[in-house]
């Protein structure tokens, strides 16, 4: 299988790239702003860079894990968010059609309004911020224009991350340096270990599956509970955790308060890939020891 992985320099992309290399799949990964050894340049805003990579590699599967995934940045720069996440996805869809390939599109629990999570695949999306809207438009284009696709929704990814950008890593490094952590007790998600997500995508590809799948952790918990779990597992001082309400955080983009995903559909196909927070954080801690 010849796989083009767009966004191989991101937290999911990096893990998926390494997991597929171990399986000896023929994979080409791309970066956008952070040049990394072994990866090729592709910018979703730059049609020529897309054409060049497709001409060079002729992929059979394209995993679109790249894009603007920073929720507040999308709210601050809506034009950029649309250009990358919506128009960029359309450019990729055109190429997927031209090459008769399959597309794996990464999406989010933020396509929902968060009134009634965790959500199943068939629940009705109603995004409350620009990021969620751009991802939903991406999903709709994929479903409307392609037959051979997978839409993978996930939630609150954690795991090794070379840029130290994901929430769990920020919490760990802030608590290690005695910085105060504001954790919302009314903001829920289903934190997802990046290894589970990567494994689920690989299994769905190996089994030739199509359609929409949720891949998420098994715990539906508030940020406050999540931060306390991180502190327990990484032996951090809980005195620095301050329990607040979501509205106190004054975030630029509104958040769906109770989003999160119900992933029972994939657990019927891929056994034992979904982890609780305690299980996933323990695996993550072991991986950190080897750095």
Ligand X SMILES: NC(=O)c1ccc[n+]([C@@H]2O[C@H](COP(=O)([O-])OP(=O)(O)OC[C@H]3O[C@@H](n4cnc5c(N)ncnc54)[C@H](OP(=O)(O)O)[C@@H]3O)[C@@H](O)[C@H]2O)c1
Cα 148–Cα 198–Cα 121 angle in degrees, nearest 5: 55
How many other CB atoms are there within 10 angstroms of residue 124's CB atom? 8
For position 71 contacting ligand X by CB under 6 A, the verdict is: no
Residues 25 to 54: which contact ligand X by CB under 6 A?
31-34, 42-45
- State the nearest-atom distance from the C-beta of 237 to ligand X, in Å: 25
CA distance 205 to 4: 13
Min CB(86)–ligand X separation in Å: 12
CA distance 53 to 12: 20
Between 56 and 178, CB nearer to ligand X: 56
Q: Contact at 8 Å (CB) between 120 and 214?
A: yes
Binding of ligand X by 118 (CB under 6 A): no
C-alpha 106/C-alpha 100 separation (Å) is 19
CB 186 within 8 A of CB 222: yes
DSSP state, 63? E
Residue nearer to ligand X on the CB measure, 49 or 239: 49
Among 3, 12, 160, 169, binds ligand X (CB under 6 A): 12
Using CB under 6 A as the binding criterion, the count of chain residues that bind ligand X stands at 28
Residue 66 or 231 having the CB closest to ligand X: 66
- Candidate residues 157, 246, 273, 281; the one interacting with ligand X per rule CB under 6 A: 157
Binding of ligand X by 156 (CB under 6 A): yes
Give the residue with the Cβ less far from ligand X, 37 or 235: 37
The distance of closest approach from Cβ of residue 154 to ligand X in the complex, given in angstroms and rounded to an integer, is 5
Shortest Å distance, C-beta 98 to ligand X: 19
Is there binding between residue 169 and ligand X (CB under 6 A)? no
Q: How far apart are CA 245 and CA 184, in angstroms?
A: 5
Confirm or reject binding of residue 164 to ligand X (CB under 6 A).
no
Q: At its nearest, how many Å lie between ligand X and the CB of residue 239?
A: 27
Residue 72 binds to ligand X (criterion: CB under 6 A): no
Closest CB to ligand X: residue number: 10
Nearer to ligand X, 129 or 154 (CB): 154
- The yes or no reply on residue 142 touching ligand X (CB under 6 A) is no
Picking from 166, 176, 185, the residue whose alpha carbon sits closest to that of residue 284 is 166
> According to CB under 6 A, which one of 59, 67, 217, 280 is a site residue for ligand X?
67
- Token readout for 81 is 């968010």
Which CB atom, from 10 or from 280, has the smaller least distance to ligand X? 10
270 phi, psi to nearest 5 deg:
-110, 110
User: How would DSSP label each residue in 135-197?
Assistant: HHHHHHHHHHH-SSEEEEEE-SEES--TT--SHHHHHHHHHHTT--EEEETT-EE--EEHHHH
Question: Which class for 290: exposed (0-12), middle (13-18), buried (19 or more C-beta within 10 A)?
Answer: exposed
Q: Of 24, 98, 25, 108, whose CA–CA distance to 64 is shortest?
A: 108
- What track of x and - describes contact with ligand X for positions 247 through 286 (by CB under 6 A)? ----------------------------------------
- What residues make contact with ligand X under the rule CB under 6 A? 6-7, 9-13, 31-34, 42-45, 65-69, 84, 106, 108, 135, 154-157
């Amino acid at each position: 299988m010849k796989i083009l992985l767009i966004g191989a320099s991101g937290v999911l992309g990096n893990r998926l790239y390494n997991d597929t290399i171990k399986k000896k799949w023929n994979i080409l990964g791309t970066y956008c702003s952070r040049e990394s050894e072994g990866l090729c340049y592709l910018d979703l805003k730059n049609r020529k860079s897309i054409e060049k990579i497709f001409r060079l590699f002729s992929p059979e599967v394209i995993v679109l894990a790249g894009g603007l995934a920073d929720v507040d940045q999308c709210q601050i720069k809506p034009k950029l968010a649309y250009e990358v996440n919506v128009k960029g996805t359309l450019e990729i869809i055109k190429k997927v059609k031209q090459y008769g390939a399959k597309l794996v599109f990464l999406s989010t629990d933020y396509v929902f309004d968060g009134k009634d999570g965790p959500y199943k695949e068939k629940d009705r999306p109603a995004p409350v911020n620009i990021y969620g809207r751009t991802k939903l438009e991406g999903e709709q284009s994929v479903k409307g224009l392609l037959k051979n696709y997978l839409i993978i929704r996930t939630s609150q990814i954690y795991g090794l991350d070379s840029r130290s950008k994901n929430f769990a890593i920020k919490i760990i490094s802030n608590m290690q340096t005695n910085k105060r952590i504001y954790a919302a007790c009314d903001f829920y998600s289903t934190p997802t270990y990046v290894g589970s997500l990567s494994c689920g995508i690989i299994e769905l590809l190996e089994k030739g599956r199509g359609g929409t799948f949720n891949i998420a952790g098994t715990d539906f918990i508030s940020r406050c509970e999540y931060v306390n779990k991180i502190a327990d597992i990484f032996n951090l001082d809980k005195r620095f955790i301050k329990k607040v309400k979501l509205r106190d955080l004054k975030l630029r983009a509104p958040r769906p308060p109770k989003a999160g995903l119900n992933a029972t559909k994939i657990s019927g196909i891929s056994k034992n890939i979904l982890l609780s927070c305690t299980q996933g954080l323990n695996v993550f801690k072991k991986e950190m020891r080897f750095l």
